[in-house]
Structure 1
Amino acid sequence: MWRGDFETGDRSQYSGTQMVSADRLQVVTSPVAEGKYALKATVKQGDDPIGASGNRNELVYQGKEAVGSEYYYRWKVMFAPDFPSVDTWQLFTQWHHDGCCGSPPVEFYARGEELRMALNGTGEVPWKGKLVRGVWHEFVLHVKWGTTANTGFVELWHDKELVLPKRGAVTMYSGQKNYLKLGLYRNDTVQPVGVVYHDGFVQATTLADVIALDSPPPTTVDAGTPVVDAGTPTVDAGTPPVVDAGTPEEQGDVDAGTPDEVEAPDTVTPPDTSVPPAQGISTDEALGAKAGCSSTGGAPFAAFALLGALGLARARRRRS
């Protein structure tokens, strides 16, 4: 639906800014979580570009999320090594209502040594995590925008782990739409300089769309595809194991219905593996059955050929 990943090399993907100067919201080439660019958001005490409460420097994207709309949002955040540890709010991502006043319906913030998600329509804090500095935190938020817990919901992944299963939630205020604000917004009592990096923001309609932009989740092994190197024999080719190929193997096992190709010893006649032994018959019995019921005659055919050759030789000696 929309990208705010700064890969344009500037802030043009966003609708506007709330900053005291351009150096507070810089598009930088290091550090980055992905691609070539990220955003460095800096806030100093006294930064108040809109004459409201708190200090801030934020980007604004007017997505105008409406009642009943449903999206997945993915973004990455890194807190500088000297990011302040204070017992008050420091917002780094928020979905704000288009009304004039009050706390945003959905917000993510740091408080002390915690990261938190808050739903201000009900005053809930349904998720808390550890604030770790100097590393990229990845968030995936699945939300349906609604004014009641029966019409709206939230679901949250943090660093690819589902930390908040889907639950009903008030995600917007009645009669208003929501829009995104990204950067740093904090209590004006915080004195040290605060720096937060943002990267990779994307809005989509499916989880697969947002995950595909990053490393995909681990996939299960296809039981029909052997996972053992065929050049490294793992079984005696002269005595193949009897396995019911119709029974699915556990994840990670080799498909017994497709045995490895192994060169057999010169002294052993490789079994015909085109027809696996029937379930409940031993390997030796199965091989014996093949030798006695071969469409080409098998061992009996060879014995008759030898007797014929001996008789012809004797006849020639008599004629000479």
Structure 2
Amino acid sequence: MPHLLRLVAMLSLLPALASAGTVWKGDFETGNISQWTRSQSVANSRLQVVSDVVREGRYALKATVRQGDDPIGASGNRNELLYISQEKAGSTWFYKWSTQFPKNYPSADSWQVFAQWHQEGCCGSPPLEFFVRGEEMNMRVGGASGPVVWQAPLDRGQWHDFVLEVKWSSNKKVGYVQLWHNGELAVPKTYAATQYGSEFNYLKLGLYRDDSIRPEAYVYHDGFTMASKLEDVMPPAPAPTPEPTPEPTPPVVSVPELPTTPSEPEVPGTGPEAPVAETPAPVLGNQPGLGVMPGDDLPGTGAPGDAPGGAPQGCGASATGTGGVPLIAAGLLAVAALVGRRRKPAEARARARR
């Protein structure tokens, strides 16, 4: 049981260990301004925690300024929140927050500060400030005579996400700033004096402007975080959109051609379209070397080879050496002669036996 209790105690520390780099949050998720040290405003309505326009979570701050708002009797008009951070010289810190200027935010050719790290002394421009002039946002380091190290369009109606790294030092060769705007590096490490002497700085967030500006203005802030590590304030990079996996192309299967049975060579004139050969009719009539059949060359017999009355006749045969005797008669004579020749020897043998 004691082991189980120790395990539960260790697990309860995990969220704190995971955010050990975060030292303070002023993100208004309490639903009020209690995360901040105090406020400088003429009325509670000037610093409202709202839920209709937010960058993250459920709540954000709406800071409003009207001409004449001067809660501390100093130059300019303001309504701001303060956090007494008191960063020591030589320390390095990271800050994250988001700001939005509405569509009706007034344009003025004068200063309108929306975030600043002010020195403990009462007077003069702060060593680090973000302000609007005309249609541009500006970041200046080193007071009124210090350089403007960053500018960007006001881009009303859109959230501006800031991540700021600062090494605090009054030595301009030691102190530096580095800024990311909307996830992109906007100011690479730039050396400058970020403190006045030994004075500590403190954070002010809201709206502070030249008192010559007449129109009412308001601005939204959300998600302020202070941390000792960059990974505690830098939003993770968006996951790359996976590319669609292409549909696999089915392999082309070549079907072998089936061997064809060799056909027998076609004999010319024997195909299905070939005309049926007719047996030539026997040629009749007087032709050289043919015997004359009875009735040939008789007057009035018509075409050559036609018998009287149209009856067909038999074919003639060669009769050379027979004096025109028909072939049948010649054959009979030859047979008779052969028989006669055979009979004589037989008769001679019979007489000899007698």
What TM-score, normalized by structure 1, do the two folds share?
Answer: 0.68
**Which secondary structure state, in structure 2, belongs to the residue aligned with residue 208 of structure 1?**
helix
CA distance in 2, matches of 1:66, 1:169: 16
Cα distance change, pair 81–235 in 1 and its aligned pair in 2 (3 A): same
Does residue 1:135 correspond to 2:158, yes or no?
yes
Flag the 1:232–1:137 CA change in 2: closer, same or farther, 3 A: same
Secondary structure of the structure 1 residue equivalent to 2:84: strand
Runs of 4+ in structure 1 deviating by more than 4 angstroms, as ranges, are 218-221, 226-229
Pick from 90, 93, 100: which aligns with 1:71? Answer: 93
Gap change, CA 1:233 and 1:88, over 3 Å in 2: same
CA distance in 1, matches of 2:249, 2:97: 46
The structure-2 alpha-carbon separation of the partners of 1:76 and 1:234, relative to structure 1 and needing over 3 Å to count, comes to farther
Tell me the amino acid that sits aligned with residue 102 of structure 1: G
The aligned runs of 1:1-320 (5 Å cut-off) are: 1-121=23-143, 122-211=145-234, 214=235, 216-218=236-238, 229=245, 232-233=247-248
Match of 1:63, SS state, is: coil
Residue 120 of structure 1, CA deviation:
2.9
Between stretches 119-128 and 104-113, larger displacement belongs to 119-128
**Cα displacement (A) at 1:218:** 4.2
In the comparison of the two structures, how many residue pairs are matched?
231
CA pair 173-218 structure 1, distance change in 2 beyond 3 A: same
Measure the CA separation in 2 of the matches of 1:228 and 1:136.
31
Give, in whole Å, the separation in 2 of the partners of 1:86 and 1:227: 47
Letter in 1 for 2:135: E
Deviations 1:151-208 (A, max 9, x none): 1000011111111100111111101001100000000000000100000111111221
In angstroms, what is the RMSD of aligned CA positions?
2.1
Letter in 1 for 2:92: E
Q: Distance in 1 between matches of 2:69 and 2:128?
A: 23
Structure 1, 147-156 or 86-95: larger mean CA deviation: 147-156
Distance 1:127 1:235, change over 3 A: farther
SS of aligned partner of 2:232: helix
Q: Who is 2:303 aligned against?
A: none
Letter in 1 for 2:237: P
**1:175 and 1:233 mapped to 2: Cα distance?**
69
Tell me the distance in 2 between the aligned counterparts of 1:234 and 1:168.
58
Gaps of 5+ in 1: 239-264, 268-320
TM-score of the superposed pair, with normalisation by structure 2: 0.62
Q: Which 5+ residue runs of structure 2 have no aligned equivalent? A: 1-22, 256-354
Choose 1 or 2 for highest CA Rg.
2
Paired with 2:249 and 2:169, the residues of 1 have a C-alpha distance of 58
Q: Distance in 2 between matches of 1:228 and 1:81?
A: 39
Q: How far does residue 119 in structure 1 lie from its aligned partner after superposition? A: 1.2
Give the AA of the match of 1:233: P
Amino acid at match of 2:46: R
Separation in structure 1 between the aligned mates of residue 94 and residue 209 of structure 2, nearest angstrom: 26
